Structure 1
Amino acid sequence: MADTILDKPERQRETQTRISVLLPLPFPGPLDYLAPADMVHPGDIVTVPLGRREEIGCVWDTQSAVPADFAPSTEPAIDIKRLRAIRSKQASTPLPQSLRRFIDWLAAYTLTPPGLVLAMAIRAYNAQAPRPHLGWVRGDAALADLRITPARQRVLDSLGNAPRTTSDLAAAADASPAVIRGLAAAGMLREMPIPVSAPFGTPDPNFRTPHLSDDQESVATELRDAVDARKYSATLLEGVTGSGKTEVYLEAVAECLRQGRQIMVLLPEIALSSQWTDRFARRFGVQPAIWHSDLGGKRRHETWRAVSLGQASVVVGARSALFLPFPDLGLIIVDEEHETAFKQEDGVTYHGRDMAVVRARLANAPVVLVSATPSLESLANVESGRYRHLTLHARHGGAVLPEVALVDMRAHPPERGLFLSPVLTEAIDQTLERKEQAMLFLNRRGYAPLTLCRACGYRMECPNCSAWLVEHRARRLLACHHCGHTEPLPDLCPNCQAEGSLVPIGPGIERILEESRARFPDARILVMASDTLGSPQATAEAVRQISHREVDLIIGTQIVAKGWHFPHLTLVGVVDADLGLGGGDLRAAERTVQLLHQVAGRAGRAEAPGRVLLQSYLGEHPVMQALVSNDYRAFMEQEAAQRRPGFWPPYGRLAALIVSATTPEAADALARTIGEHAPQIPGVQILGPAPAPLAILRGRHRRRLLLRTPRNLAVQPILRHWLAGLRTASQERVDIDIDPVSFL
C-alpha cells in the first residue's frame, strides 16, 4: 500500500519542499527530491525515481549526529529546479530516529557509504510481503434476489462475525466451493481479510521467578536499577562459567518488560539460540522473536514488521539484529561479548559488540556485555571508567569449577599414528565407567588439515587461495575452508603421478572420531561441528540427545565452547591445546585462553565435579599456565602490559587497508602507490605494504597496510585524507577495516 505522488508539473513546484532520501546504494550520502509539504517526514519509507527505474529509500534527516572528527564533508545542494518528485510514500512505520542516527554513525565510523548500511536495515522490508488471507462474510445483497437452495442456506447459516476461508466454510456447511463462489457472485458473500494474530506472544516477567543466590540478587538489582534509570549506561557482567549470568541478566529483561519496552539480545552464534530460547520460555512463558540470516523471507518480514510496531518485545539474534527498527528500545544484552564472531568482515565491516554500545547510547538505553572471559577491550573500558563492572565469582547451586591439568605430550605421547594420549584415554574410560559424559575438543574441521605426497612432497593446495586443502574423508573430497572450492580426493599424486602416495598430515575432527570409535567401541558418540549441524534444528536435537544422556562421548569444534549447559558432562579433553598460538596474530594468546577457558567451563556444571585435560607440547606457555591456575585476570593483566607500550589495541587504534587485484603485479603496484602517499603525522605509524597472510583469496591477490595511532587520534580523517583522489582500475579494490580482529 502506498500514497501515490506523481511527478508534478513545473507550475506546482512551489507547493513542494526539498527532502533528503537515503537509498540502499553505494552513494556518498542522501539524494535530494521534492515532496508535498508536510506529507513525508524523516524515517518514512518512500519510492523515488532514479534514472529510468524506481528505488525504495528512506527520508533522511538533514542534521547528522555523526561526530565531527570522522564525519565526511557535505556536498553543495543541487538547484531545486533540477529535482524530481518522489513517487509514493509507503504505508509502513517510519524508521526510528535512533536507528537513523545509528546508520549514519556506523557509516562514518567504518568509512562505508551510508546507503549500504541502510540496506541492512530495510532488506527485510524489501522482502516480498505475504499476501493477506481472505475469508467470507455476509454480503449486502437481499435474500429475495437469489433462489436459496438447501446448500446455499447451510452456507449462510454457517457464517459468523469473523471471516471464514472457502475450505473452512465449505466443510462447516457440507457444501462445495462452487456454492460459495455462486453466493459471492450474487453479492450474498464478500471477501474480507482474516485478522492475523500477533506473531509473537507477550512475555510475562512474573511467569516463573527464579531463586537467586545473594550474589546473583545483588548483581540483578544493579541491572534492574540501570533499566529503571531509562538512560544510557554500559555494564560488563563477568562471571565464571556456570555462575548463572543468563538468569541474572534475564532479571534486567524482566524489569524492561514491566516497563513495556523492547529488548535486544545478541548471541555470537545462532546455534546457541535453541538452548537460550528454551531457558527464556521457562522464565517468561513464551518464545522470543528470533532474528538471523537463515530465516525465510516471510518470517523475516513478519518479524521486522512486529519489531517496528512494538509487537515483538524481545528479539534474540545475530549481530544483524542491530539494524531492526525498534521504536522503544529499553535494553541491549551482548552475550559472550568476547567472541570474534561478532565481527562482520564481508561487506560492511563492523564489530557487533562495539556497535551495540553505540546503538544503546543513541537509543539512550543501557547495554550489558556478558562473558566469563571478557575481551581486553572491555576490561580496558572498565579500567578507564567507561563501563561499570559487575562480577559473579562462584558457580550456581553448589557446583565447583573443574580441575584443569596439563598432559605433557612429550612425556605421554600417543601411539604412532594416533593423537590421544594414554592419560586422556584412561580418563575417558573411567568417566564412561561412571556413566558420565566426556567431551573431546579440537578446533579443526575435516579429517586432516594437509594432504601431501610422500613420494615427491607435493602438497594439495587450493587453486583460488594460498591455503591447503582440507581432507573430508566422510565425503571423499578435499575442500578449501576459505573459498569453498572442493575436488575429489585423487588416487594419484597430481605432481608425480605416484599411486597411493597421498597421506593425511595432522588431525581433524573426523580423524579423532575414527580414533575414538576404535578406542571406545561401546560409547555412543556425537559429533558437534558446523559440518554435521547444518541448521538450528539439528543443533537443538544434538543438545536434546546430550541432555537426555543419549550420548556418552561428544566430539566437537569451537561450537561446543559456547554457553551450553550439559549437567552430566564431567570430563573435557582438549586434543591440541597449542592450536591457535602460532601465526603472529596480535590476539592469538587472548583468543586461545578465552576459547579453552570456555571449553573447560562445560565440565562439572552440576553436582559431579569436573575435570579438564589439556594435551600440550607448550606447558610452560603463559596461556597454559593461566588455564591451569584458573587465573584469567592475571593473564589479561600481562597481556595488557605487553600492548600498552606500543599503543596496540585497546590502548591504540588500528585500521587495515586490504589491497586486492586479479594479478600480483597490479596488487603490488596499487599497494606501493598507497604506501608512497602514506601520511607523515607524529604518533602515526604505517606498517606495510606487505603480502597478506592469505596472499591469495578467492582468486584475488592481496596486500595489506596497517595504520596505527595512539588512542587519542581518530583514524577516520587520516584515512579519508590519505585515500582522497586515489583512482583504482576495475579489477582493483581497497577495503578498509576499522578495528580489525583478523589479520589474514
Structure 2
Amino acid sequence: MGIGDDLMLFEETVPERCRYRVQVILPVEGPYDYLAPDGGDEGERFLPLGQIVMVPVGKRILPGVIWGGEPDTSVPQAKLRQIEAITDLPPLKDELRQFIEWVASYTLFPRGSVLKMVLSAPQALESVAGQKLYRQGDTDTEDTSFRITPARQKVLDLLAGSGGWTAVELAREAGVSGSVIKGLEQAGVVEGYLEVPDFSFPLPPSGIKGPVLSEDQRAAADDLINKVRAGNFAAVVLDGVTGSGKTEVYFEAIEAALGEGQQILVLLPEIALSSQWLDRFEQRFGVRPAEWHSELTPALRRKTWRAVSEGKAPVVVGARSSLFLPYEKLGLIIVDEEHEASFKQEEGVCYHARDMAVVRARGCHCPVVLASATPALETMINVQNGRYERLVLSGRHGGAGMPDVELVDLRFDKPERLDSGQGWLSQALRGAIRQTLEAGEQAMLFLNRRGYAPLTLCRTCGHRLQCPHCTAWLVEHRRFSRLQCHHCGYSTRLPDSCPSCDAEGSLVPCGPGVERIVEEAKKLFPEARIGLMASDTMTSPAATREMIERIEKREVNLLVGTQVVAKGYHFPYLTLVGVVDADLGLFGGDLRAAERTFQLLHQVAGRAGRAEHKGRVILQTSDPQHPVMQTLKAGDRDKFLEIEAETRSRGGLPPFGRLAAVIVSGPEEAELDNFCATMARAIPTIDGARILGPAPAPLSLLRGKFRRRFLVMTRRSVAPQAVARSWLQGLKSPSRVRVVVDIDPYSFL
C-alpha cells in the first residue's frame, strides 16, 4: 500500500452555531445537516468538531459526530431535524477524524462505515448516571421530633464503620425497610450522594525493572526509547529470530511511553488466545493491561472504551479493531507478529491493521513497531526502500541455539497403515517422538487442519458430503460427532447411509485432521500424556491458559495442534516439533502461498529448543526440493525472501504491483451473471492497469450467496482505487446484488 502517501487534508471549517454537519454511522459517504438541540437560540451550547451526538435518522436515533465542512444552505432550515442529545464524551480528536477520512478513501468504503468501527460500543455512548450511595451525615440534628429508634440505630451503626452503601444493601444488612433509610436522609442524619462509575485501568507502578537484556537487545531497546521520547513518527521493524526476546525489547519502549504519560496500543493476532503474553505483561509491569477483542462482556467493553477515550487506559492490548478506539494521547503502537494474515479484515470494511497502524501512527506523530521473526515481504521491501527502519536481533536470548531442521521425503518414508486404517506419521518421525519422550522431554505434532478428517466420501458411489450453503466439503469433528462447514458454521450429524446411493456403512473419512493425529498418537505412544490445541478446543482465554499451564507443568508431554500453537508460546522443555504435512497450504493459486507456508513453518519450528535443551524439527514433505523446504532446512530466511521477491517482481505482483479484488455476490445465479456481464462490458481502458474477470470464486457459493470475482491489477505507480472508482461509479447493481471492493486482497477465495 502507499504508506508514504500524504494524509488527506481535513477540512476544519467551523459551522454556523445553529446548523451542524453530522456524520452518522450508516454506510453513507457524507454528513447530514442538523439543527442544534434547542433550535438555534443565541443561548445554545456550541458544539465543537468531533463532538459525539445522537441524531434522528428516519425512525431511529443513531450516534453521529460533528464533522467539518460548510452546512448545505440549499436545504431550508424548516426541513432540518434537531440533534436529539449531546453525549458527555470527549470529542473525537482531529487525528482520529483524519484517520477515518483516510481509511474511507483508501478502502473505498463509506466514511460512515469506518466511523461505526470507532463508535463500536453503544453502551459507552450512553450518559453516565451515577449510582446513589449512602454515608453518615450530621448526627446532631436540630429536628426535635426526630428520635433514634432501634431500627435507625442499626443503620447508623453500619454507616459509622464505612459509607458507600446502596439503599437495597443497607436495608438488607440492617434488617429494616427502605422507609427507615428515607427518614434518616430527610433528617440529615444519613447523606445520599451520587458515585460515578470508575472507568479507569491501573497505571503500572514506576521503577519496576525488567530482566537484564543482551547487548543486541539493549541497543534495540535504547533506539526505541529514544524514538518514543522524541515524540515523532517512525516506522521500525523489530526483526528477531524466534526466541530472541523481541517482547522484552518493546516492553522497554512501553515503559518509556508510560513515563511520558502516553497511551500504548499493542496489536496481537487472535488476542483471545494470547493469555501467555498477558501473563508476561503482568509479571513485567505488575498490572494487567486493558484488553479489546470480541470476547469482552458489554459492561467491560463500555468501561474500556470510556477509559481509552478519557486517557485512563494506559496500555491497550487488542485485536485489529482496537486500532479504531478513540485514544486520548496515543504515543506508541506495536504490531506483534506483523506478518500474520489475521490482521487483514475481510468482513465489513476491508483493511489491513498493520498498514493502517502505520497510517495512524503518522497521524499521531508517534513510533510504530512492527515485530516479527518472519516479516512480510511488503515490510522488508519498505525497509529496503528506506520507508521503515530495521532493528535486528540475530541470536536467541540466553544463548539457546536455533533448532536443527530435517526433511522427511514422504515418497520414500511412507507412513505405515495402522489396524484402524491409514497412518500419517513416518518412521523417522515416530522414532524421534519415542526418543524425545523417553528422554523426559516434550514433543509437538503440528497440522494446520482442524477436526478429524477434511472430507467424507462414499466408497460405493464416490459421493462427497458437501455444505448445502457453500462450495466446501464438510469436515468431520469426531469429538462432537458432527460434520461442520468451516466457512458458514453449518453443522449436522454424520448420516448412517450415503445421501446419494443409500448404501449403509459406506461413508469413510479421507485425509487427516488434528483429531485423527491424536488418535494415531494414542495408539503409537500409549504412555504419552497427549494434549490438543486448536481453535475449536481453545474456545476461551481461560481454556487456553489452562492448557498452557498443563504444558508448563509437564502434565502434557505430546502436544498436537494447529496454527494456534505457533503464536509466540514459550515451552522450555519442548525439544521436538514434527510437521505432519509441510506441503499443506503451499499450492492453490494464492500469490502468498509460499510466503505464508514459510512463515507458519518457521514460527512452528521456533517453538523447539528455546531453553538449554537443543531443538529438533522434522518436516514431512512430498516436495523436499521446493524453495520453501530448502530454505527452512538451511535456516536462510533472507534467501527465501530473495527468491519470493524475484518471483513476484516478474509477475508484477505485490509489493511490486497493486491489486484490488471486486467480489460480486447475490442469491440468484442468473441475475448475478447478467450483472457481471454488464460490469465486464464497462471495463475501462487505463494505461498501467488491467481488469480480469468475471470468474467464479473458488468458493462460488458462500453462506447461500453465489459469488463472482474481478481482479484489478495495476503498476505500482497507478492507484487501484482510482481505477475501481472510474469503472464502478456509473454502474447501478440490482438490489439483491452486492459489490465489495477489497484493496490489497489477502484471500482469493
User: Per the shorter chain, which TM-score range?
Assistant: over 0.9
Q: 1:202–1:707: structure 2 CA closer, same or farther, 3 Å change rule?
A: same
- Contact residue 402 and residue 611 of structure 1 kept, 8 A: yes
Q: Does residue 47 in structure 1 map to residue 51 in structure 2?
A: no
- Contact residue 96 and residue 326 of structure 2 kept, 8 A: yes
Q: Which residue of 2 aligns with 1:149?
A: 149
- Deviation at residue 287 of structure 1 after TM alignment: 0.7
Distance 1:392 1:623 in 2: 23
Any stretches of 5+ residues in structure 1 without a counterpart?
1-13, 64-73
Which residue identity does 1:101 align to in structure 2?
Q
Q: 1:77–1:532: structure 2 CA closer, same or farther, 3 Å change rule?
A: farther
Corresponding residue to 1:103 among 77, 100, 103: 100
- Deviation at residue 738 of structure 1 after TM alignment: 0.5
Q: 1:412–1:76: structure 2 CA closer, same or farther, 3 Å change rule?
A: farther
Q: How many residue pairs get matched?
A: 721
The one-character-per-residue Cα deviations of 1:13-37 (angstroms, maximum 9, x if unpaired) are x984332111011112111223356
Distance 1:195 1:91 in 2: 13
Distance 1:713 1:353 in 2: 22
Q: Which residue of 2 aligns with 1:425?
A: 430
Corresponding residue to 1:133 among 109, 120, 131: 131
Secondary structure of the corresponding residue to residue 22 of structure 1: strand
Q: 1:76–1:234: structure 2 CA closer, same or farther, 3 Å change rule?
A: farther
Q: Does residue 209 in structure 1 map to residue 210 in structure 2?
A: yes
Secondary structure of the corresponding residue to residue 101 of structure 1: helix
- Deviation at residue 407 of structure 1 after TM alignment: 1.0
Q: 1:145–1:43: structure 2 CA closer, same or farther, 3 Å change rule?
A: farther
- Deviation at residue 51 of structure 1 after TM alignment: 3.0
Distance 1:570 1:149 in 2: 74
Q: 1:142–1:170: structure 2 CA closer, same or farther, 3 Å change rule?
A: farther
- Mean alpha-carbon deviation: is it higher for 195-204 or for 172-181? 172-181
Secondary structure of the corresponding residue to residue 144 of structure 2: helix
Q: Does residue 406 in structure 1 map to residue 403 in structure 2?
A: no
Q: What are the equivalent positions in structure 2 for 1:180-191 lying under 5 Å apart?
A: 180-184=181-185, 188-191=189-192
Q: Which residue of 2 aligns with 1:3?
A: none
TM-score norm. by structure 1 comes to 0.93
The one-character-per-residue Cα deviations of 1:331-386 (angstroms, maximum 9, x if unpaired) are 00000000000011111111111111111111111100000000011011111111
Distance 2:365 2:415 in 1: 57
- Deviation at residue 512 of structure 1 after TM alignment: 0.4
Distance 1:196 1:113 in 2: 35
Q: Which residue of 2 aligns with 1:56?
A: 63
Corresponding residue to 1:436 among 441, 452, 455: 441
Which residue identity does 2:362 align to in structure 1?
R
Q: Does residue 703 in structure 1 map to residue 704 in structure 2?
A: no
The one-character-per-residue Cα deviations of 1:559-582 (angstroms, maximum 9, x if unpaired) are 001111111111000000000011
- Contact residue 17 and residue 46 of structure 2 kept, 8 A: no
- Deviation at residue 43 of structure 1 after TM alignment: 1.2
Q: What are the equivalent positions in structure 2 for 1:589-600 lying under 5 Å apart?
A: 589-600=594-605
- Deviation at residue 205 of structure 1 after TM alignment: 4.7
- Contact residue 146 and residue 186 of structure 1 kept, 8 A: yes
- Contact residue 575 and residue 613 of structure 2 kept, 8 A: yes
- Contact residue 208 and residue 282 of structure 1 kept, 8 A: no
Q: What are the equivalent positions in structure 2 for 1:262-411 lying under 5 Å apart?
A: 262-411=263-412
Distance 1:404 1:483 in 2: 37
Distance 2:106 2:73 in 1: 22
Secondary structure of the corresponding residue to residue 98 of structure 1: helix
Which residue identity does 1:235 align to in structure 2?
V
Q: Which residue of 1 aligns with 2:5?
A: none
Which residue identity does 1:149 align to in structure 2?
T
- Contact residue 205 and residue 255 of structure 1 kept, 8 A: no
Secondary structure of the corresponding residue to residue 165 of structure 2: coil
Which residue identity does 1:630 align to in structure 2?
G
- Contact residue 87 and residue 125 of structure 2 kept, 8 A: no
- Deviation at residue 180 of structure 1 after TM alignment: 3.0
Q: What are the equivalent positions in structure 2 for 1:625-704 lying under 5 Å apart?
A: 625-704=630-709
The one-character-per-residue Cα deviations of 1:504-525 (angstroms, maximum 9, x if unpaired) are 1100111001111111111111
Distance 1:197 1:163 in 2: 14
Distance 1:677 1:211 in 2: 63
- Contact residue 228 and residue 255 of structure 1 kept, 8 A: yes
Q: Which residue of 1 aligns with 2:506?
A: 501
Distance 1:718 1:76 in 2: 33
Distance 1:682 1:205 in 2: 58
Secondary structure of the corresponding residue to residue 718 of structure 2: coil
Q: 1:146–1:334: structure 2 CA closer, same or farther, 3 Å change rule?
A: same
Distance 2:562 2:730 in 1: 46
Which residue identity does 1:418 align to in structure 2?
G
Q: Which residue of 2 aligns with 1:11?
A: none
- Contact residue 658 and residue 734 of structure 1 kept, 8 A: yes
- Contact residue 103 and residue 114 of structure 1 kept, 8 A: yes
- Mean alpha-carbon deviation: is it higher for 281-290 or for 25-34? 25-34
- Deviation at residue 55 of structure 1 after TM alignment: 2.1
Distance 1:271 1:88 in 2: 35
- Mean alpha-carbon deviation: is it higher for 710-719 or for 559-568? 710-719
Which residue identity does 2:132 align to in structure 1?
L
Secondary structure of the corresponding residue to residue 57 of structure 1: strand
Secondary structure of the corresponding residue to residue 545 of structure 1: helix
Corresponding residue to 2:574 among 559, 569, 572: 569
- Deviation at residue 101 of structure 1 after TM alignment: 1.2
- Deviation at residue 719 of structure 1 after TM alignment: 1.1
Distance 1:350 1:195 in 2: 37
Q: Does residue 528 in structure 1 map to residue 533 in structure 2?
A: yes
Any stretches of 5+ residues in structure 2 without a counterpart?
1-14
Q: 1:205–1:223: structure 2 CA closer, same or farther, 3 Å change rule?
A: farther
- Mean alpha-carbon deviation: is it higher for 252-261 or for 164-173? 164-173
Secondary structure of the corresponding residue to residue 121 of structure 2: helix
Q: 1:151–1:634: structure 2 CA closer, same or farther, 3 Å change rule?
A: same
Secondary structure of the corresponding residue to residue 501 of structure 2: coil
Distance 1:422 1:565 in 2: 28
CA RMSD of aligned residues (A): 2.1
Distance 2:75 2:364 in 1: 32
- Deviation at residue 87 of structure 1 after TM alignment: 2.5
The one-character-per-residue Cα deviations of 1:116-149 (angstroms, maximum 9, x if unpaired) are 1111111214458586433113468745332211
Secondary structure of the corresponding residue to residue 274 of structure 2: helix
Corresponding residue to 1:475 among 462, 477, 480: 480
Secondary structure of the corresponding residue to residue 247 of structure 1: helix
Corresponding residue to 2:490 among 485, 494, 499: 485
Secondary structure of the corresponding residue to residue 326 of structure 1: coil
Distance 1:250 1:50 in 2: 46
Distance 1:169 1:75 in 2: 56
Distance 1:87 1:185 in 2: 36
Q: Which residue of 2 aligns with 1:5?
A: none
Q: Which residue of 1 aligns with 2:80?
A: 83
The one-character-per-residue Cα deviations of 1:443-501 (angstroms, maximum 9, x if unpaired) are 00111011111111111111111111111112112111011111110110111111111
Which residue identity does 1:96 align to in structure 2?
K
- Contact residue 228 and residue 366 of structure 2 kept, 8 A: yes
Secondary structure of the corresponding residue to residue 645 of structure 1: helix
Corresponding residue to 2:116 among 112, 116, 119: 119
